[in-house]
C-alpha cells in the first residue's frame, strides 16, 4: 500500500473557505435565474408586482444542488476543487483510484452529516490515526496532501522568448 501525507484540519478548512468564496456567487446566480424564471412564468398582464420570491425550501434545495454540482464537477475532472488546488490537496478513493460519480455525491452528502453535530465529523480528523473525517469513511474517499512543486525545476524551465 502506497503511503502519502494527509492534510490536517487547518488545510482542509482553508480549502473549504476558498471554495465557499467561489460557490456563493454561483448559488446567487442560480437563485436569481430561478427567481427570474418564476417571475416570467407567473407574470400576469397588468400585474406590476415583480417582487416574486422563491419559497425558502426551494432556495435551500437550489443551494444544496449547486454545492453538490460544484464539488462533484471538480472532483470528477481533476480530483481537486480550486481551493484544493491552492492548498495542494487531492481527493482519491481508498484504493488510490479517481473518484466516480457515486462516491462524489456520497461524499457531498456525508460532508453534511459531518457538519451537523457542531462539526464533529470534521474535528474527528484531529484524533483519527489516519487523519480522516467521518465523510472520508462514509464515502470511502480520502484527501492526499500533494508535495510542494520543485522550485529548481521551475527555475530551470525555459521562459518564452529564450533562445537556447
73-131 tens-digit pLDDT: 999 999 999 999 999 999 999 998 999 999 999 999 999 999 999 999 999 999 999 99
Position 46 in a domain: no
Contacts of 109 (CB under 8 A, 6+ apart): 68
Position 27 in a domain: yes
Among 72, 156, 53, CA closest to 111: 72
pTM of the model: 0.83
Position 95 in a domain: yes
Q: Are 86 and 146 in contact (CB under 8 A)?
A: no
Domain that holds residue 110: 9-41+54-146
pLDDT band, residue 1 (cuts 50/70/90): very low
Pairing mode, if any, of strands 89-93 and 141-145? Answer: antiparallel
Task: Give the count of domains, the chain.
Answer: 1
pLDDT band, residue 3 (cuts 50/70/90): confident
Position 94 in a domain: yes
pLDDT at 49: 58
Position 154 in a domain: no
Position 110 in a domain: yes
Amino acid at each position: 500500500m502506497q503511503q502519502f501525507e494527509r492534510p490536517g484540519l487547518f488545510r482542509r478548512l482553508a480549502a473549504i473557505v476558498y471554495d465557499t468564496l467561489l460557490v456563493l456567487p454561483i448559488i446567487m446566480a442560480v437563485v436569481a435565474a430561478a427567481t427570474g424564471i418564476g417571475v416570467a412564468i407567473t407574470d400576469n398582464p397588468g400585474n406590476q408586482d415583480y417582487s416574486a420570491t422563491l419559497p425558502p425550501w426551494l432556495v435551500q434545495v437550489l443551494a444544496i444542488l449547486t454545492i453538490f454540482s460544484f464539488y462533484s464537477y471538480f472532483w470528477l475532472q481533476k480530483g481537486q476543487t480550486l481551493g484544493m488546488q491552492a492548498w495542494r490537496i487531492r481527493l482519491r478513493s481508498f484504493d488510490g483510484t479517481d473518484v466516480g460519480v457515486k462516491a462524489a455525491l456520497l461524499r457531498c452528502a456525508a460532508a453534511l452529516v459531518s457538519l451537523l453535530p457542531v462539526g464533529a465529523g470534521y474535528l474527528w480528523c484531529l484524533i483519527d490515526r489516519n487523519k480522516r473525517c467521518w465523510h472520508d469513511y462514509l464515502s470511502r474517499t480520502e484527501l492526499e496532501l500533494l508535495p510542494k512543486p520543485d522550485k529548481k525545476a521551475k527555475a530551470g524551465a525555459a521562459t518564452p522568448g529564450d533562445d537556447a
